[in-house]
C-alpha cells in the first residue's frame, strides 16, 4: 500500500492524515497509487466523525510526479491508455487518471496539504486538490508535463481558474519551469509558507475543529461552487446552504459557546 491513512483526534473531532509513502522514490506516482488514493479518499468520505484531512508525503519531498515506470508500462499499451483517457469512470465526470485528484477534492471536509521538497507534475495536481497548501521555504513547484511532451490532465482545469490568471497558467503549463515557494505563493499556487509545514497543517486542523462541522462542509461548498460562477449565480447557493445550517443544533451551540466564553461541543 503506497498511501497510508492515520486518524487522530483534535478537540474531540477526527483528523486523518493521508501520506504518499514512497520516500526512496520521492513519492513518485505509480499505477497502484492511482487506485490507492481514490480508495483512501472514499474510506475517509464514509466517516461521519471526520473534520479535516492532512495530505503529505513521506521523507523530504511531497511528490516528484509520475514514476517513469508508468510511461514504460503504457509504452506498448497506447490504445488502453487512450481508452482510459476518453472514458469517464461510472457515475463520474473524471477519468481514471483524474480520479486521484478529483476524489480528494470531492471530500466534504477541508483538506490541508503539507508540502516539502519537490512538488512536480502529477504531484502538484494532487496537491492542488487540497483546500489549503502550506509549503516549506525550500519547496519547489512545477507543472512539468511539457517536459515529457504532454499537457497536465489530472484535474488541473478544475482548480487553476480559481487561483491565477490565464496568461500565468499558460506560462507554467507551456514552459514547465520550476518555481520556488515565494513565487508559488505570489501566483496563488500555495496558501502560505511555514518552516514546518506538517506542524502548521496540524495547527490549522486543530483550529478548524473549533468550528461547527456544518460550517466547514458548507463553507467549502460555497466557495467551490460559486468562485468562478457567473455573477449572481452564487446568491441562491448562499441562501440554500445557510438555510441548511441556521437553527440547527451545531449553529445554536456555536452561539451559546461564544456567549458563554467556552469551547463549543458539536455533535
Confidence check: pLDDT of 98 > 70: yes
pLDDT, tens only, 112-139 = 999 999 999 999 999 999 999 999 999 9
Confidence check: pLDDT of 1 > 50: no
pLDDT, tens only, 217-262 = 999 999 999 999 999 999 999 999 999 999 999 999 999 999 999 9
* Predicted pLDDT at 173: 98
Confidence check: pLDDT of 88 > 60: yes
Confidence check: pLDDT of 12 > 70: no
Confidence check: pLDDT of 74 > 90: no
Q: DSSP per residue over the chain, as a string?
A: --EEEEEEEETTEEEEEEEE--GGGTTPBPHHHHHHHHHHHHHHHT-TTEEEEEEEESTT-SB-SB-HHHHHHHTT-HHHHHHHHH-PPTT-SS-TTTHHHHHHHT-SS-EEEEE-SEEETHHHHHHTTSSEEEE-TT-EEE-GGGGGT----SSGGGTGGGTS-HHHHHHHHHH---EEHHHHHHHTSSSEE-SSHHHHHHHHHHHHTTS-HHHHHHHHHHHHHHTTSPTTHHHHHHHHHHHHHTTSHHHHHHHHHHHTTS-----
Q: Which CATH superfamily is domain 3-208 in?
A: 2-enoyl-CoA Hydratase; Chain A, domain 1 (3.90.226.10)
Confidence check: pLDDT of 2 > 50: no
pLDDT, tens only, 169-222 = 999 999 999 999 999 999 999 999 999 999 999 999 999 999 999 999 999 999
Amino acid at each position: 500500500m503506497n498511501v497510508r491513512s492515520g486518524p487522530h483526534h483534535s478537540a474531540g473531532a477526527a483528523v486523518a492524515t493521508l501520506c504518499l509513502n514512497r520516500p526512496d522514490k520521492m513519492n513518485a506516482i505509480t499505477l497502484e497509487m492511482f487506485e490507492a488514493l481514490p480508495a483512501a479518499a472514499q474510506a475517509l468520505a464514509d466517516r461521519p466523525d471526520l473534520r479535516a484531512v492532512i495530505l503529505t508525503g513521506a521523507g523530504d519531498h511531497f511528490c516528484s510526479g509520475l514514476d517513469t515506470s508508468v510511461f514504460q508500462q503504457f509504452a506498448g499499451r497506447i490504445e488502453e491508455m487512450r481508452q482510459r483517457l476518453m472514458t469517464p469512470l461510472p457515475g463520474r465526470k473524471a477519468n481514471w487518471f483524474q480520479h486521484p485528484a478529483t476524489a480528494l477534492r470531492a471530500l466534504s471536509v477541508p483538506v490541508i496539504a503539507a508540502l516539502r521538497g519537490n512538488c512536480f507534475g502529477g504531484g502538484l495536481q494532487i496537491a492542488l486538490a487540497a483546500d489549503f497548501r502550506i509549503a516549506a521555504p525550500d519547496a519547489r513547484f512545477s507543472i512539468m508535463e511539457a517536459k515529457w511532451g504532454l499537457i497536465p490532465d489530472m484535474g488541473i482545469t478544475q482548480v487553476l481558474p480559481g487561483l491565477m490568471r490565464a496568461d500565468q497558467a499558460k506560462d507554467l503549463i507551456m514552459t514547465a519551469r520550476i518555481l520556488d515557494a515565494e513565487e508559488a505563493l505570489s501566483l496563488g499556487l500555495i496558501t502560505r509558507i511555514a518552516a514546518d509545514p506538517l506542524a502548521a497543517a496540524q495547527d490549522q486542523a486543530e483550529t478548524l475543529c473549533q468550528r461547527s462541522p456544518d460550517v466547514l462542509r458548507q463553507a467549502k461548498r460555497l466557495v467551490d461552487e460559486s468562485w468562478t460562477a457567473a455573477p449572481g449565480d452564487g446568491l441562491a447557493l448562499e441562501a440554500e446552504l445557510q438555510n441548511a445550517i441556521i437553527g440547527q443544533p451545531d449553529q445554536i451551540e456555536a452561539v451559546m459557546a461564544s456567549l458563554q466564553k467556552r469551547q463549543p461541543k458539536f455533535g
